[in-house]
Amino acid sequence: MTFFEAVLLTIITASTPLVIAAIGELVTERSGVLNLGVEGMMIIGSVGAFVAAQVSGSAYVGLVAGIAGGAVFSLLFAFLTLTLVANQVATGLALTIIGLGASGMIGEAYVGVPGIRLLPIEIPLLSQLPYVGAALFKQDIVFYMSIILVVAVNWFLFRSRAGLKIRAIGDNHGSAHALGIGVIRTRYLAVMFGGACAGLAGAQLSLIYTPQWTESMSGGRGWIALALVVFSSWRPWRILAGGYLFGAVTILQLHAQAFGVGIPSQFLSMLPYAATVVVLIIISHNRRMTLINTPASLGKPFVPDR
DSSP for 1-19 reads --HHHHHHHHHHHHHHHHH
CB contact at 8 A, 286 and 20 = no
- Residue in 24, 19, 27, 12 with CA at minimum distance from that of residue 240: 19
Measured between alpha carbons, how far is 44 from 99 in angstroms, rounded to an integer?
Answer: 6
Angle between helices 3-30 and 38-56 (to 10 degrees): 120
Distance CA 47, CA 127 (A): 31
**Bridge partners, residue 138, by sequence:** 122
What is the radius of gyration, based on Cα positions, of the chain?
19
Q: How far is CA 48 from CA 63, 66, 201, in A?
A: 9, 5, 12
Rounded to whole angstroms, the Cα distance separating 8 from 276 reads 21
Which structural domains are found in the chain, ordered by start? Answer: 3-293 (1.10.3470)
Cα separation, 168 vs 304, in Å, equals: 16
Within 8 A by CB and 6+ apart from 155, the residues are: 163
User: What confidence tens digit (pLDDT) does each residue in 71-97 have?
Assistant: 999 999 999 999 999 999 999 999 999
Residue 144 to residues 17, 20, 46, 77, 267, Cα–Cα distance (Å): 12, 11, 19, 29, 33
Q: Residue-wise pLDDT tens for the chain (306 aa)? A: 577 778 888 889 999 999 999 999 999 999 999 999 999 999 999 999 999 999 999 999 999 999 999 999 999 999 999 999 999 999 999 999 999 999 999 999 999 899 999 988 888 888 788 878 878 888 999 999 999 999 999 999 999 999 999 999 999 999 999 999 999 999 999 999 999 999 999 999 999 999 999 998 998 899 999 989 988 889 999 899 889 988 888 787 777 766 666 677 677 677 777 777 777 777 767 666 666 678 999 999 998 875
pLDDT value at position 268? 67
